[in-house]
Amino acid sequence: MTSNHGSKDMTVDVLIIGAGASGAAAAASLSEAGFKVKCLEQGFWQDPSKYASASADYDFEMLTNWSVDPNKRQLDEDYPINIDNSPVTPVMFNGVGGSTILWTAHTPRFHPSDFRVKTLDGVADDWPLTYEDIEDYYDRNDEVMGCSGINGDPANPPRKPRQMPPLPIGSDGIRLINAFEKLDWHWWPSDNYINSEPYGEGRDACNFCGHVHMGCFKRAKASTDLTYWPLALNNGAVIETGARVRRVTTNSSGIATGADYVDAKGVERHQPARSVVMAANGIGTARLLLLSKSDSHPDGLANSSGLVGKNLMFHPFAMITGVFPEKMKTWQGPLSNFAMSQEFYETDESRGFVRGYTYQFQRSLGPGWVANGGFTNAIPWGDSHHEELEKRLGSMMAIAVIGDDLPELHNSVELDPDLTDSDGVPAPRINYTLSQNSRDLLDHGIKNATKVFETAGATDIYVDPLMRQSGWHLMGTARMGEDSSNSVVDKWGQAHDVDNLFIIDGSVFVTGAAVNPTPTIQALALRTADYIIANRTDLRG
Amino acid sequence: MASQHSRLLEAIMDRMIPAVGDLPSAGQMGLIDEIVELAAKQKRFEDLFHSAITAFESKNPDFLTSSESVQDENLKTFELNTPEHFNTIRTIVYIVYYKDSRVHKRIGWDGQPPQPQGYEMDPWDESVLENARKREPFWRKV
């Protein structure tokens, strides 16, 4: 895939910072409507035929050069993150496609109640929009990304048919499902942006290799380098890769004028623009806004509320692993999220906490991964080593508890005073503590998942009460709202302080819900793009 | 890797993964070169690995001449007190051991990387939803 490279000094209508899930979706819409769009992306294009799942050293690569953790990957295009004050490690990928390159592509939607937590449960805040406001955008996004799944889930509102049937459940999955049914608890095949049959240009069906989190060799998993970006480039949008943004620039009136960046050859450049769209994820966007101080924005761009970088939400994860007496080839099929349960999703105050959680069903991988623990501790060294490996290989499954994360001011992204990326740009520092509500919620999930494994006949059960490497979902650090004193952007993603600055990544989330956020991020990005198209003709040159 | 460190790593591996069936203990399988080459595929990991070996050597200067029971105690102490160093060594020892074709043969693993072949699964069967479909909608209306 080649990207178009226009003149670097031409003013563009829309400068998008970040080529991941949201930036790609907005770029495709805006460029289709005739806006001149350019995207600056600090990473590069990926070649699926070179993904490490086809390497003999895939187990090593998974922990190093293809780790989901940028602090372990340490590519030049990554930026380090100070996590000394966080029990959760943020994970992400920097490149065209962003974190959709390494995501597991689980794509549930928010529930209607997720947008009304203040009204319903008296906590956090309501969103300034409703489920119905973005439902059509969810559908549009499904069309482009391609969703496998099936209608009829009693835990979610009815919706249009998915593009493909669900991925197979497998004999291992049946075992867990039977346990849920014995307990009379909900389960349903997961929605995934993974092809269960060929869908999209040049995209094959999944061949169940399991290593969905290492990039998809078969192009069966939707990443935006394969879905939205080809559309956007065909419309004339431009991506410049290896372009690390230092700051968003503003004029004396405080209006965004473009961005200063370092190009792939290390040359300092400025990209002028009539508007700027931030799509750098819930950490990267906050980082750049805080870096973009000026006389007009002394506390960082769009930060008159003081909320840029605040209210960071991750989704707390617990993981419960069970080992069964039977061999079930648990390495076959996507590692994560072939089915889910939302039995405990909605608030029931008798449980002692508000909001709820989703159970995600997980498999395991091959012997190297199992020996090193998979989702639990490594198998012991010494005399019991071989017996324990034999017990776990092909017999180990897990259930993840993904809990609703509510916003708290002290959970934050700030600029580290010492740490920098490879271009000398200050790196982010994370402050995160788990709330008591989240702890209670996870403990409830652990107790009931243990019951599932016992019912399913597991012989050994292991619990990780808070997964360290689970900060996939980066949300809340530039929240949306009607009131400019307690939010950063309005319901269209437009900054209250800067009317030609828009934010379209997970930063704008008011609350986190208890599901993976990417379809909601992309739906909101498409909605913001539609708003710009309909209302901001002044941004077109 | 210095020959002294190679011998030390072999001895550590012997205690970590003992002989089984027709296979000798891991340190006797000739895996050291592969461990060193693999670690070198990422600078961060390579640095961690060599510092871990060096740290182990400095804390256990008599490891090579100690009895097996003392070696096990040395390893347990190292694991407890310096988990990052210990985990670095264990991680790469396990990875290299379990990518060896002799080990694959013993445990019945096909040994291929996950791609490009992938695996086969029985196709999606909607009958699994027979019970789940009986439940009335219970999502919270607002």
**Torsion sign across C-alpha atoms A19, A23, A25, A28:** negative
Does residue A146 sit within a domain? yes
Nearest-by-CA chain A residue for B140: A113
The whole-number pLDDT of residue A432 equals 98
Per residue in A128-170, pLDDT (tens digit) is: 999 999 999 999 999 999 999 999 999 999 999 999 999 999 9
Residue A267, C-beta contacts closer than 8 angstroms, at least 6 positions apart: none
Does residue A491 sit within a domain? yes
Per residue in B119-133, pLDDT (tens digit) is: 999 999 999 999 999
Residue pair A305/A484 in contact by the 8 Å Cβ criterion? yes
Residue pair A318/A467 in contact by the 8 Å Cβ criterion? yes
Residue A3 has pLDDT above 60, yes or no: no
Instruction: Tally C-beta pairs within 8 A across A and B.
Output: 175
- Reported confidence tier of residue A492, pLDDT bands at 50, 70, 90: very high
Residue A9 has pLDDT above 70, yes or no: no
Residue A281 has pLDDT above 50, yes or no: yes
Residue B51 has pLDDT above 60, yes or no: yes
How many of the other CB atoms lie within 10 Å of CB of B129? Answer: 18
Residue pair A428/A79 in contact by the 8 Å Cβ criterion? yes
pLDDT, mean of residues A282-288: 98
Does residue A29 sit within a domain? yes
What are the chain A neighbours of B20 within 8 Å (beta carbons)?
386
Distance of CA B39 to the CA centre of its chain: 13
In this complex, which of A208, A209, A378 lies closest to B90 when CB atoms are compared? A378
Burial class (CB in 10 A: 0-12, 13-18, 19+), A349: exposed
Residue A437 has pLDDT above 80, yes or no: yes
CATH code of the domain containing A230: 3.50.50.60
Residue A7 has pLDDT above 60, yes or no: no
The whole-number pLDDT of residue A2 equals 34
Does residue A417 sit within a domain? yes
The whole-number pLDDT of residue A331 equals 95
The whole-number pLDDT of residue A1 equals 36
Does residue A153 sit within a domain? yes
The arrangement of strands across the sheet holding A188-189 comes to A188-189, A336-341, A357-362, A396-403, A317-323, A460-464
Residue A301 has pLDDT above 90, yes or no: yes
pLDDT, mean of residues A446-451: 98
Mean pLDDT, chain B, whole residue set: 97
Nearest-by-CA chain B residue for A218: B116
Does residue A320 sit within a domain? no
How many of the other CB atoms lie within 10 Å of CB of A219? Answer: 23
Asked if omega into A165 is within 30° of 0 (cis), the reply is no
Q: What is the C-alpha to C-alpha distance for residues A509 and B115, in angstroms, rounded to an integer? A: 37
Does residue A246 sit within a domain? yes
Residue pair A182/A195 in contact by the 8 Å Cβ criterion? no
Mean pLDDT, chain A, whole residue set: 96
Nearest-by-CA chain B residue for A327: B108
- Reported confidence tier of residue B1, pLDDT bands at 50, 70, 90: confident
Does residue A272 sit within a domain? yes
How many of the other CB atoms lie within 10 Å of CB of B30? Answer: 10
The whole-number pLDDT of residue B3 equals 87
Pick from A242, A245, A243, A195: nearest CA to A218: A195
Q: What is the C-alpha to C-alpha distance for residues A153 and A159, in angstroms, rounded to an integer? A: 10
Chain-chain contact of A367 with B128 (C-beta, under 8 angstroms) = no
In this complex, which of A72, A186, A208 lies closest to B44 when CB atoms are compared? A72
Residue B139 has pLDDT above 50, yes or no: yes
Chain-chain contact of A150 with B142 (C-beta, under 8 angstroms) = no
Per residue in A496-513, pLDDT (tens digit) is: 999 999 999 999 999 999
Per residue in B28-37, pLDDT (tens digit) is: 999 999 999 9
Asked if omega into B116 is within 30° of 0 (cis), the reply is yes
- Reported confidence tier of residue A210, pLDDT bands at 50, 70, 90: very high
Residue B117 has pLDDT above 90, yes or no: yes
Nearest-by-CA chain B residue for A374: B91
Per residue in B58-107, pLDDT (tens digit) is: 999 999 999 999 999 999 999 999 999 999 999 999 999 999 999 999 99
Structure tokens at A19: 């080529």
Residue pair A323/A388 in contact by the 8 Å Cβ criterion? no
Chain-chain contact of B132 with A181 (C-beta, under 8 angstroms) = yes
Chain-chain contact of B114 with A120 (C-beta, under 8 angstroms) = no
The whole-number pLDDT of residue A6 equals 44
Per residue in A54-87, pLDDT (tens digit) is: 999 999 999 999 999 999 999 999 999 999 999 9
Structure tokens at A492: 């269209």
Terminal Cα distance for chain A, rounded? 28
∠ Cα B2 B88 A318 (to 5°): 175
What are the chain A neighbours of B98 within 8 Å (beta carbons)?
59, 366-368, 371
What domain range includes position A157?
14-162+208-314+407-431+472-539
- Reported confidence tier of residue B42, pLDDT bands at 50, 70, 90: very high
Chain-chain contact of A154 with B139 (C-beta, under 8 angstroms) = yes
Q: What is the C-alpha to C-alpha distance for residues A300 and A302, in angstroms, rounded to an integer? A: 6
- Is the predicted ipTM greater than 0.85, yes or no? yes
Residue B115 has pLDDT above 60, yes or no: yes
Tally of domains in chain A = 1
Terminal Cα distance for chain B, rounded? 65
